[in-house]
Amino acid sequence: MTNHWVDLKNSDLVIVMGGNAAEAHPCGFKWVIEAKKDRKAKLIVVDPRFTRSAAVSDFYAPIRPGSDIAFLGGVINYLLAKDKIHHDYVKHYTNAAFLIDEGFRFADGFFSGYNAEKRSYAKDTWKYQLDKDGYAMVDPTLENPRCVFQLMKQHYSRYTPELVSKTTGTPQDAFLKICEMIAETAAPNKTMTICYALGWTEHTVGSQNIRTMAMIQLLLGNMGMAGGGINALRGHANVQGITDMCLYSEVLPGYLSAPTDADVDRKTYLEKRTPKALRPNQMNFPQNFPKWFTSLQKAWYGNAATEENGYGYDWLPKKDGAYDVMALFERMHQGKMNGFFCQGFNPLASVANKRKVGDALAKLKYLVIIDPLATDTSEFWKNHGELNEVDPAKIPTEVFRLPANLFAEQTGSFTNSGRVIQWHWKAADGPGESRGDIEIMAGLFLKLKAMYAKDGGKLPEPILNLTWPYRIPAKPAPEELLMEISGKALGDVFDPKDKAKVIVPAGQQVAGFAQLRDDGSTACGNWIYGGCWSQAGNLTARRDNADPTGLGQTLNWGFAWPANRRILYNRASCDLSGKPWDPQRTVLKWTGKAWGGNDIPDMRPDAAPEEGVMPFIMTPEGVARLFAPALAEGPFPEHYEPFETPLDKNPFHPGNPKATSNPAARVFKGDMDSFGTAKDFPYVATTYRLVEHFHYWTKHSKLNAITQPEQFVEIGEDLAKEKGIAAGDKVKVRSNRGFIKAVAVVTKRIKTLDVDGRKVHTVGIPIHWGFKGVTKPGFITNTLTPFVGDANSQTPEYKAFLVNIEKA
């Protein structure tokens, strides 16, 4: 979330799309209800199903799964055509005025630079025109045909209400009604917030779904405002924390991009990641990259990391390819992996195409499960009838289960969707021989280290040199770890303006990432968490909910990264002169000498408005990007069909079959054949969570099992009639990858949609069942889903694929 949970109450219009907040985030959803009760806010829900969020909405519209960009692109077109945008904001705070390379094009579904063979783009035309000083050229009148504003206008002029409705199945009047409601928040003192979740991310165009809404929020001037922003509701209690700590191979902690084979040394690595400002006077905050990275290296390798050895740069793994979750299982499936440590993860149930995942696991020599529960994955080798049809005799994989504690059996921190890190205290001891995750990892590490020390081996340094300063090496305390993550001075840290003045004496905790250095004098395990455990102590343990602002900012409750800032880009809540766009909801204001108000400024505190330092400090241009070249499939989001589409063409590019689905999405060899077509699988399927359950975990809990005991799928009344299915009947749902059987829920809440001249039925499939647990045993829903993901994040397309359904 750019904003935070409580801030939802400050909104005038809440849109729930690409998510189902009431159902997947019932506790946070209370703030939407507050906005409705106390601010008279309106709630819009756009979803393939009339969800429990829709049940309390003011307006609902159906949409075909996988057509969100068509819908949102249509909103952009509406706002631009009706001139319902926040002009000053767009002009000054976005890259609308920036001139784009003359070679940049979009035609026939492709942007310039497409390589069909590699399924990727050369981005050499996706860039700003630069002047002689290397700064981006701008046209403040927004009239230059090469400026972002004009290119964007042209790009989305194709997204007419007719074409939107034809593609999405959303009735045109409902679409226009929503456009009208959204457009009202272009007023500087009105804000809209968007609550989205995996309903947007789990598509082959997932990142672009989100980006399209980000563009809308920029056009409306809703970023940085109280009650505004782009709000990703994280689906797992601490998944924000996991992302921040970068438990992914693509990035290092704090979203620092991980080194690859091409980054031959530290210098090359840093140069590529330390941008130069693209406009004069901008903060260009990523220029501090070397400080964050060096401090991370010092946190890992301590005294062994020296200037001479590049602070241990050579000890870091260098990626030679993709290592996202699908790439991982692809390697495993190809037999290129021997072992797999699976900690707090149930991939047999949660990764797409269960059969492929099961086959992949069967090729391992060993599998280690670190989990509080006996997961489905831990029994992937066991025959559970048609729920898991395998022959154990043919599976050589040795499986080890290491029982771990649950979160409530451990002390530590949680980071919620609103980036607020909150300390929590152990509530109970774990049962039996279970151990905390930290203890298990420490045990493994110490053993490995002893083996390397004794036996040597290939490149032992990364293990032998790892700093391990904990009082009890086999059991590091969570407190010690958070202190390490937050950062401390190893030597004295001096004031950059006065080299004689020590601002942090050696040995003390840093107050924040601004005190980190790239000379080895500081260590910090994750720069964005910098200062969460300062000399003042554990700030994440604070529980002062006093709210003098009335906005729910509660700056003394826990610690929000970065720098305890509650609303990101909050400088954009003020006009150029530093006056809040809406004085009723002042987040920040220029006091004459400094930025003050009700949040930690997302701005140099003494940057006077006349200096022209723009609010989006994390871009080298200082402004937000309507045109964003970082994305894999194009700088402007474009509608592409899901890989399994009920249509025979992309309604936006009927003449170009290669532009039917995301042209830049990665498809592994062999997986193309696993996709089904509408001929055999005529119905659109989408998967989702129910409020009664939490992923594949609560099927082990009796209370949850009582409230939703048995697997079901949802279909509309039309399809039910066509297929002779009644509510309560057992049905079989098949995709090209397998089948599941479940009880049919027949509902008015899923409508047949008119899409491109045909009727499209949707089958809704909740995810929570499996062959382990106390619910009625069920099929693993991901038996059905396709093994293809978003072109940027590689998140699988769980939300839009094709199935057939029949009475079982």
Partner 1 sequence: MALQSLDIARRSATTTPAPGVRETAKVAKLIDVSTCIGCKACQVACMEWNDLRDEVGSCAGVYDNPVDLTAKSWTVMRYAEVEEKGRLEWLIRKDGCMHCADPGCLKACPAPGAIVQYANGIVDFHQENCIGCGYCVTGCPFNIPRLSKEDSKAYKCSLCSDRVAVGQAPACVKTCPTGAIQFGSKEQMKDVADKRIKDLKERGYAQAGLYDPPGVGGTHVMYVLHHADRPELYQGLPNDPSISPLVSLWKGFAKPLATLALAGVALGSLFHYVTKGPNEVSKELENELEKEDAK
Give me the residues that bind partner 1 (CB under 8 A), please. Answer: 22-23, 26-27, 29-30, 33, 36-37, 40, 50, 52-56, 58, 60, 691-692, 702-712, 726-729, 743-749, 774-776
Beta carbon nearer to partner 1, 22 or 607: 22
Give min distance, CB of 53 to partner 1, in A: 7
Beta carbon nearer to partner 1, 540 or 781: 781
Beta carbon nearer to partner 1, 155 or 699: 699
Give min distance, CB of 793 to partner 1, in A: 29
- Nearest residue to 552 (alpha-carbon basis) of 34, 24, 18, 14: 34
CA distance 8 to 226: 8
Beta carbon nearer to partner 1, 189 or 747: 747
Beta carbon nearer to partner 1, 62 or 531: 62
CA distance 808 to 805: 9
Q: What does the longest C-alpha to C-alpha distance in the chain come to?
A: 83
Give min distance, CB of 749 to partner 1, in A: 6
Beta carbon nearer to partner 1, 287 or 747: 747
Q: Going by DSSP bridges, is the β-strand pair 801-807/522-523 parallel, antiparallel, or unpaired?
A: unpaired
Beta carbon nearer to partner 1, 439 or 729: 729
Which two structure tokens, joined as six digits, stand for 300? Answer: 């890992």
Beta carbon nearer to partner 1, 116 or 703: 703
First to last CA, the chain: 43
Beta carbon nearer to partner 1, 31 or 126: 31
A 10 A CB-CB count for 125 gives: 17
Residues 705 and 734 sit within 8 Å (Cβ to Cβ): no
Phi, psi of 605 (to 5 degrees): -60, -30
Give min distance, CB of 613 to partner 1, in A: 41
Give min distance, CB of 453 to partner 1, in A: 51
Beta carbon nearer to partner 1, 233 or 395: 233
Give min distance, CB of 720 to partner 1, in A: 10
Give 583: exposed, middle or buried? Use CB within 10 Å, 0-12, 13-18, 19+.
Answer: exposed
SS3 (DSSP) at 692 = coil
CA distance 570 to 547: 18
Q: Which helix (H) or strand (E) is 685 found in, with range?
A: strand 683-688
Provide CB contacts within 8 A for 384, sequence distance 6+. 771, 777
Give min distance, CB of 50 to partner 1, in A: 6
Give min distance, CB of 729 to partner 1, in A: 7
Residue 323 is given by DSSP the state -
Phi, psi of 775 (to 5 degrees): -75, 175
- Nearest residue to 792 (alpha-carbon basis) of 653, 636, 634, 570: 634
Helices assigned H by DSSP within 739-790: none
- Nearest residue to 69 (alpha-carbon basis) of 180, 185, 171, 159: 159
Give min distance, CB of 731 to partner 1, in A: 10
Give min distance, CB of 55 to partner 1, in A: 4
Give 669: exposed, middle or buried? Use CB within 10 Å, 0-12, 13-18, 19+.
Answer: exposed
Phi, psi of 108 (to 5 degrees): 60, 30
